[in-house]
Structure 1
């Protein structure tokens, strides 16, 4: 079964506090985005990799890639929102299973990927999740109350779907309450299936995340 991964890289690094978009920052001398592409290529060199980038950063990325081992991938111009970028990529994706992944998550492991692709092949969808460790409180007006953390999950990517299902989901018009691809599937009235993720599969959005990423990257390289 042919597989496609769409890697979205449209961030501008506001929370990181840098002029350079976070996906281009270096971890132990290598761009985060390049490490993400390499993670999928190492997992399966036959994966179709599609990268969505803002048009104004495509040339920069192509110049960056010259300095590192080549990883076959196709670049698709990003849209105004993540939704529009993925919709553009879906028009050229050819896989029977389509994974959608954040460009700043370079440490998804084989275990998680195997879980996601297997479940999506069997049930139509799969999103990796982890149970929460911290206590949670719900804000209610000017107060808050404790809630049972066992009722909540932390969601990761890649979110993987059978081709026909995700294409149908992206016929739904964009709205601000679309937080991820799974939320679109739910708007179709379809069930979203969850599987186990991995703890080092963090989304790198802050300077403290970069410190953790340097540690994780050394482990992966070893």
Structure 2
């Protein structure tokens, strides 16, 4: 084999250490399901396993993977890992009553790790293209904080006392995950008190640091309803990899 060809096919190490926190606290009630949505079967495997596998891609060079689950779901996940012979190394952390508390618990697990870039990702976004994950990590390395987002496809209106009015969707973005941050920056942000205005990690960080937007992907859907599961199945059949 040509040595240069071999070296070119080897994934390059990222410029900094990378970590990932996968937060999965759903109950499945909106799905009308008999189990939490992260454990629902998608193409023969649990949704959360698909998500974990995306971040375990060797080309991404993620140093450590952390899954945050409610206390009552840890044994279920361990059982599924045994059932599906999951060999991907990852840490299991007990989450809190809110997403903010769960991310904070995931960060606490990384308390003694060297600084780098950490991704926070919805455990029920199983189809995130590798290109989106890579671009978001890289943008956070360059800018400190980066979030994947897409332009709304539909027209958007804002409610007012007089009725409603149209918004310029070219100036709007639908926020996805991953959301990637300098690890030290995210630690600082999560030392502040929790506010009701926090809707995601970017909203926790934005008072401390500007948020860079990265082009997301419409395939990067969040499994919330039964329809989402059907769409995800169809995308997987089409070979959605990215």
Question: What TM-score do you get using the length of structure 2 for normalisation?
Answer: 0.87
1:7 to 2:52 alignment? no
- Does structure 1 residue 66 correspond to structure 2 residue 82? yes
Deviations 1:32-73 (A, max 9, x none): 001100111125364310000001110011001112232110
**Aligned counterparts, 1:65-214, within 5 A:** 65-68=81-84, 69-93=86-110, 94=113, 96-141=116-161, 143-188=163-208, 190-214=209-233
Using the alignment, how far apart are the partners of 1:143 and 1:14 within structure 2? 32
For these two proteins, the number of residue pairs brought into alignment is 221
Output the CA distance in 2 between the equivalents of 1:141 and 1:205.
Answer: 31
- Root mean square deviation, CA, Å: 1.6
Corresponding position: 1:217 with 2:236: yes
* 3-state SS of paired residue (1:183): helix
2: CA distance, partners of 1:111 / 1:28: 22
Write the distance in 1 (CA, Å) between the matches of 2:130 and 2:72: 33
Residue aligned with 1:156, SS: strand
Report if the CA contact (8 A) 1:8-1:100 is conserved: yes
Q: Is the 8 A contact 2:117 2:137 kept in 1?
A: yes
2:65 is aligned to 49
Q: Note the residue ranges of structure 1 that are not aligned, 5 or more in a row.
A: none
Mapped contact 1:41–1:47 kept (Cα < 8 A): no
Matched residue of 1:165: which SS? helix
Larger radius of gyration: 2
1:27 aligns with 2:42: yes
Aligned partner of residue 56 in structure 2, secondary structure: helix
What SS is found at the alignment partner of 2:65?
Answer: strand
Provide Cα deviations, 1:165-186, integer angstroms capped at 9, x if missing partner: 1001101111211000101111
Following TM superposition, the consecutive aligned residue runs of length 4 or more in structure 1 with deviations greater than 4 angstroms are none
CA–CA distance in 2 between the matches of 1:7 and 1:35?
12
